[in-house]
Amino acid sequence: MQPMNSRAALLLLSIMALPMAAPEPAFAQEVSQERIVNGLGKLTAAAPAIDIEILRQEAVNGGDKPMSALPNWGRLAKLPQMVVEINFENDSVAIQPTSYRTLGMIADALHHPNLWDYNFLVVGHASATGSDTHNLDLSGRRADAIKEVLATTFAVNPSRLYAVGVGEHLPIEGSKEDASVNRRVQLINLGVFKRRS
């Protein structure tokens, strides 16, 4: 029997290790650069001008109204958007390492020619498991953290990104306010920021 060369041995070890690798969560398989580009690239009309503080106040003061029933959020609800799962350390703005794959796909999509001319709003949401004030603050800091990682780690132009946290306000319709599904990040295409020359 002939000894294996190092390349063959490495390939064999890689194949043997596959069954032992931890399976990826199901949500990771649902997110792809193509899905992000297609989902966020369907802007058919001019996006409304936004004011981050007005959006935040409207969410806080909106009571139990769904997002689409609030004037400014209602206009944003008609824009291309998607919800992505970005996991954070408990009660922290530290993004878990497993979420960097998703952030990388988002960044790749934002660098795609079909999305290059657009700017985006990162909306941080929280469940109602803590105080209203704490959740509002934490969701805002998490949205800012995502914006910062996209800009610094993945070189997305920061002038294309806006961030707002709405805390436990604007839960997913039909869900309990403290349900984990309400801890989410939303990306909304806000329209053209500047055409490349």
Q: How is residue 23 written in tokens? A: 């399976």
pLDDT of residue 30: 65
Measure the CA–CA gap between 158 and 152, rounded to whole angstroms: 8
Where is mean pLDDT largest: 45-49, 102-106, 162-166, 178-182? 102-106
| One-letter-per-residue 3-state SS of the chain | CCCCCHHHHHHHHHHHHHHHCCCCCHHHHHCCHHHHHHHHCCCCCCCCCCCHHHHHHHHHHCCCCCHHHCHHHHHHHCCCEEEECCCECCCCCCECHHHHHHHHHHHHHHCCCCCCCEEEEEEECCCCCCCHHHHHHHHHHHHHHHHHHHHHCCCCCHHHEEEEECCCCCCCCCCCCCCHHHCCEEEEEEEECCCCC
Please determine, for residue 27, whether its predicted confidence score (pLDDT) is greater than 70: no
pLDDT of residue 28: 34
Question: Which pLDDT tens digit goes with each residue over 12-25?
Answer: 323 233 333 322 32
pLDDT of residue 9: 34
pLDDT of residue 141: 92
pLDDT of residue 109: 95
pLDDT of residue 57: 86
160: confidence class by pLDDT, cuts 50, 70, 90: very high
Domain spanning 47-192 has what CATH number? 3.30.1330.60
Please determine, for residue 101, whether its predicted confidence score (pLDDT) is greater than 90: yes
pLDDT of residue 87: 85
Measure the CA–CA gap between 59 and 169, rounded to whole angstroms: 6
Q: Is the pLDDT higher at 147 or at 1?
A: 147
Mean pLDDT of all residues belonging to the chain? 76
pTM: 0.75
Q: How is residue 115 written in tokens? A: 């999305």
Tokens 């349900």 correspond to what residue? 179
Question: Which pLDDT tens digit goes with each residue over 119-158?
Answer: 899 998 887 777 878 888 888 999 999 999 999 999 999 9
pLDDT of residue 194: 54
Q: In this structure, how many other beta carbons lie within 10 angstroms of the beta carbon of residue 34? A: 12
Q: Quick one: average pLDDT of 29-55? A: 80
